[in-house]
């Protein structure tokens, strides 16, 4: 939440900051601002600042005010926590010569505010962030260096935060610090960058340093020095990023979300290929790319240790938030069903506060696209404290969650820009299916023939997903037809229940309509009261046969009897379901029915997308949301 960019070098900084912020706008878009240092004719420097509520493009109208050559600037795009999204609360914030941008929350802000106020400080915003600038200013006025002032001020505050600080009396130097909120340093030739995430600097450099918790850095155009919070210098161990730049362009699509929906066949291939030994019909747990992390003082577990942890697990705790939690619910069912290990999936925000019973022999499996979600990260730390092995399924390389875990299984979905998660979700589901099967194979709870069936089906998954997406015009037509309904009820059972939740979440977050995901069996325990012609009921039952399917169909009959409007996601030959539905979308078959939820959700993503477009909402940047939820 909140995007930060800073630059020191020789090029005009303002445009670089603006472009960087545009790459980070997914992190928040309540307001934006840039501060740059301008050199006066007498050789001294002054800070010029532009800030505007609303999206980044609003800053363009103010551009003339910072239209001077400056090679030292910082910028910010905000997701509001303390104080409404107005001009005064937009970052950067100034305290005399000190200017700061902030991502996070100062939990002890009240105490610090009172203390500063007692010393006669007056404030120009309602934010907690501004206070940090005043703390730094006070330290500077007592004769400390900027680095020392930031270090001492950071020790005063509580909560997860990242700050970027400049001082107009020290042109060409930026000091940054983080704990809990992400910051990366982009190391260039005669120029250096700081940002909340890699895409902001990718056009200028691929040489990245991931700042660790409680680390500070001092950046000039020629040098970057890293320090621990107790003042010791640390080595600058950078990594080379190989992400393709075109991944962060829309490539002709109207929205990132649509582009990312259509990227899913490729994302599934890139995620699954390392795991599948198609010639032998076996899962591979030893692929070099599947388990990795790069924390300098940590160690990635070898595959034998990973296998042992899973084989000896007394229980698996799957923990995540939002869409990733829906993938987790799917994974829970598969792990328990295939590997026969007690498994519990739950929301990280609940898990961390309910004092869970954890044993060192239990295994944690956290799921996160960004690798930065505050509640999930806290859940990892809690599980680690109880001596458990904790593994991550994550999309963003070297982000905070993977670095805290014993090993990480990466979803290779590529950069996901749309705030509504799509390709990260389906690759998480696919990878959870792999983990469940691989565990089952090692624990001896599935035989070789079953393993082969799964390997083959997962091998076909990308191709079948492509086939499913070819029906987008049909989905668009039904979305248009039903875009103005009063409410939307998604019904599924078993493995289709998590995607009922996900279908409803997608619709809520991008189309701002009331939608709920329910287990079809729960219908008559309450929600059936809402059923009437203006309520669209979406029935997720593409298996076409089996006990649970028969049960779902009879639940759907109950909807029909009450004149609900029915849209079914069904098998091509399921005439029984088609007969009672007002409309239907066919889901193509695949070798194992447990993978059908992955194919079905593609159509649910498209449905939400087209409803949102029809209703004219902001698809890629829905109101009030941010992609990385780095605060509680
Ligand atoms: C998904 O569409 C949401 N925007 C959101 O629920 C998201 O999945 C959640 O915040 C978890 O994020 P993570 O996967 O990056 O941890």
Task: Please state, for a pLDDT cut of 90, what percent of the chain lies above it.
Answer: 71
Predicted confidence (pLDDT) per residue in 324-342, tens digit: 999 999 999 999 999 999 9
- Return the H-helix or E-strand segment holding 8: strand 3-8
Predicted confidence (pLDDT) per residue in 415-450, tens digit: 898 889 999 999 999 999 999 999 999 899 999 999
Answer whether 323 contacts ligand 1 (Cβ < 6 A). yes
Q: Is 110 helix (H, G, I), strand (E, B) or coil?
A: helix
Cis status, amide bond into 92, omega within 30 of 0:
yes
Q: Is 515 helix (H, G, I), strand (E, B) or coil?
A: strand
Answer whether 421 contacts ligand 1 (Cβ < 6 A). yes
Q: CA nearest 389: which of 295, 300, 309, 299?
A: 309
- Return the H-helix or E-strand segment holding 217: strand 215-219
Distance CA(564)–CA(148), nearest Å, equals 66
Q: Quickly tell me which residue has 């589901």 as its tokens.
A: 429
Angle at 184 between CA 30 and CA 222, to 5 degrees: 120
Residue 294 above 80 pLDDT? no
Residue 485 above 80 pLDDT? yes
Distance CA(149)–CA(147), nearest Å, equals 5
Strand order in the sheet with 93-95: 93-95, 98-104, 161-167, 174-179, 215-219, 224-228, 233-234
Answer whether 89 contacts ligand 1 (Cβ < 6 A). no
What value does the mean pLDDT take over residues 518-544? 90
Q: What is the DSSP string of 449-466?
A: HHHHHHHHHHHHHHHHHH
Answer whether 322 contacts ligand 1 (Cβ < 6 A). yes
Answer whether 415 contacts ligand 1 (Cβ < 6 A). no
Predicted confidence (pLDDT) per residue in 40-62, tens digit: 999 999 999 999 998 888 998 88
- Catalytic residue positions? 2, 627
What value does the mean pLDDT take over residues 76-80? 88
Q: Which atom of ligand 1 is nearest to the CA of 627?
A: 4
Say which CATH topology domain 3-242 has: 3.60.20
Distance CA(112)–CA(434), nearest Å, equals 49
Q: Which CATH number fits domain 472-615: 3.40.50.10490, 3.40.50.300, 1.10.150.120, 3.40.50.620?
A: 3.40.50.10490
Predicted confidence (pLDDT) per residue in 127-174, tens digit: 999 999 999 999 999 999 999 999 999 999 998 899 999 999 999 999
Q: How far is the CA of 498 from the centre of ligand 1 (A)?
A: 15
Give the domain ranges of the chain. Answer: 3-242, 247-468, 472-615
Substitution site in 28, 318, 346, 373 for ligand 1 pocket (most atoms within 8 Å of beta carbon): 373
Provide the strand spans (E) within 414-562.
487-492, 515-519, 535-541
Per-residue pLDDT at 557? 86
Q: Quickly tell me which residue has 């692929």 as its tokens.
A: 287
pTM comes to 0.81
Answer whether 221 contacts ligand 1 (Cβ < 6 A). no
Give 184's strand partners: 195, 210
**Contact 167/148 with Cβ under 8 angstroms?**
no
| pLDDT tier, 561 (very low <50, low <70, confident <90, very high otherwise) | confident
Q: How far is the CA of 226 from the centre of ligand 1 (A)?
A: 31
Q: How far is the CA of 211 from the centre of ligand 1 (A)?
A: 23
**Contact 238/208 with Cβ under 8 angstroms?**
yes
Predicted confidence (pLDDT) per residue in 201-253, tens digit: 999 999 999 898 899 999 999 999 999 999 899 999 998 887 776 666 788 89
Q: Which atom of ligand 1 is nearest to the CA of 505?
A: 2
Per-residue pLDDT at 159? 87
**Contact 566/540 with Cβ under 8 angstroms?**
no
Q: Taking each helix axis from N to C terminus, what angle separates 448-469 and 264-272, rounded to the nearest 10 degrees? A: 160
Q: Which residues in 191-212 are b (16+ Cβ under 10 Å) and which e? A: bbbbbbbbbbbbebbbbbbbbb
What value does the mean pLDDT take over residues 445-462? 96
Predicted confidence (pLDDT) per residue in 254-266, tens digit: 999 999 999 999 9
Substitution site in 255, 320, 323 for ligand 1 pocket (most atoms within 8 Å of beta carbon): 323
Answer whether 325 contacts ligand 1 (Cβ < 6 A). no
What number of other Cβ atoms are within 10 A of residue 480's Cβ? 13
Q: Is 226 helix (H, G, I), strand (E, B) or coil?
A: strand
Intrachain domains 247-468 and 472-615 with the same fold? yes
Say which CATH topology domain 247-468 has: Rossmann fold (3.40.50)
Substitution site in 405, 421, 424, 625 for ligand 1 pocket (most atoms within 8 Å of beta carbon): 421
What is the phi/psi pair of residue 244, to 5°? -75, 135
Min mean pLDDT across 68-77, 358-367, 546-555, 593-602 is at 546-555
What value does the mean pLDDT take over residues 94-102? 97
Q: How far is CA 317 from CA 198, 308, 336, 433, 500, in A?
A: 30, 16, 11, 15, 22
Answer whether 420 contacts ligand 1 (Cβ < 6 A). yes
């Amino acid at each position: 939440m909140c995007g930060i960019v800073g630059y020191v070098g020789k090029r005009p900084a303002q445009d670089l900051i603006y472009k960087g912020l545009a790459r980070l706008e997914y992190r928040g878009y309540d307001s934006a601002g840039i501060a740059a240092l301008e050199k006066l004719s007498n050789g001294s420097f002054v800070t010029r600042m532009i800030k505007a509520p609303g999206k980044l493009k609003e800053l363009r109208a103010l551009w003339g005010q910072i239209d001077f050559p400056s090679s030292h600037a910082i910028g910010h795009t905000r997701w509001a926590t303390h104080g409404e999204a107005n001009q005064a609360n937009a970052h950067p914030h100034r305290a005399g010569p000190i200017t700061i941008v902030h991502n996070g929350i100062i939990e002890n802000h009240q105490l610090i505010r009172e203390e500063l106020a007692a010393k006669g400080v007056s404030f120009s915003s309602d934010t907690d962030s501004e206070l940090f600038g005043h703390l730094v200013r006070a330290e500077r006025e007592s004769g400390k260096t900027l680095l020392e002032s930031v270090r001492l001020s950071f020790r005063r505050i509580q909560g997860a935060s990242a700050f970027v600080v400049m001082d107009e009396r020290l042109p060409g130097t930026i000091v940054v610090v983080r704990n809990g909120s992400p910051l990366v340093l982009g190391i260039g030739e005669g120029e250096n960058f700081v940002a909340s995430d890699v895409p902001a600097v990718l056009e200028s450099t691929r040489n990245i340093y991931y700042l660790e918790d409680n680390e500070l850095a001092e950046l000039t155009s020629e040098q970057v020095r890293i320090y621990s919070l107790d003042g010791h210098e640390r080595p600058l161990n950078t990594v080379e990023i190989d992400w393709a730049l075109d991944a962060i362009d829309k490539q002709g699509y109207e929205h990132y979300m649509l582009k990312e929906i259509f990227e899913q066949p490729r994302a599934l291939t890139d995620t699954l290929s390392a795991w599948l030994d198609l010639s032998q019909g076996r899962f591979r747990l030893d692929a070099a790319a599947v388990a990795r992390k790069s924390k300098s003082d940590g160690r990635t577990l070898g595959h034998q240790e990973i296998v042992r942890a899973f084989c000896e697990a007394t229980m698996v705790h799957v923990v995540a938030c939002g869409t990733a939690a829906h993938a987790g619910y799917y994974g829970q069912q598969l792990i328990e069903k295939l590997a026969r290990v007690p498994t519990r999936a739950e929301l990280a925000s609940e898990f961390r506060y309910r004092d869970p019973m954890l044993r060192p022999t239990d295994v944690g499996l956290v799921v996160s696209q960004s690798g930065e979600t505050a509640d999930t990260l806290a859940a990892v730390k809690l599980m680690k404290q109880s001596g458990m092995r904790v593994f991550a399924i994550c999309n963003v390389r070297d982000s905070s969650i993977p670095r805290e875990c014993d090993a990480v299984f990466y979803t290779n979905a590529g950069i996901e820009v749309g705030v509504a998660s799509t390709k990260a979700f389906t690759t998480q589901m696919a990878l959870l299916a792999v983990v469940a099967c691989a565990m089952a194979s090692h624990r001896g709870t599935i035989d070789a023939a079953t393993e082969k069936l799964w390997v083959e089906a997962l091998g076909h998954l990308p191709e079948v997903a492509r086939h499913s997406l070819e029906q987008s015009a049909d989905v668009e037509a039904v979305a248009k037809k039903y875009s103005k309904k009063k409410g939307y009820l998604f019904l599924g059972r078993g493995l289709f229940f998590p995607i009922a939740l996900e279908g409803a979440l997608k619709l809520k977050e991008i189309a701002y309509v009331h939608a709920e995901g329910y287990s079809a069996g729960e219908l008559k325990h309450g929600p059936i009261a809402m059923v009437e012609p203006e309520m669209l009921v979406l029935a997720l039952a593409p298996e076409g046969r089996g006990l649970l399917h028969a049960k779902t169909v009879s639940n759907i009959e109950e909807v029909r009897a009450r004149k609900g409007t029915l849209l079914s996601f069904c098998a091509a030959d399921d005439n029984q379901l088609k007969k009672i539905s007002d409309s239907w979308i066919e889901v193509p078959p695949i070798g194992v029915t447990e993978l059908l939820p992955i194919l079905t959700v593609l159509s649910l993503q498209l449905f939400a997308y087209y409803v949102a477009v029809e209703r004219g909402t902001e698809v890629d940047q829905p109101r009030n949301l941010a992609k990385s939820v780095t605060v509680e």
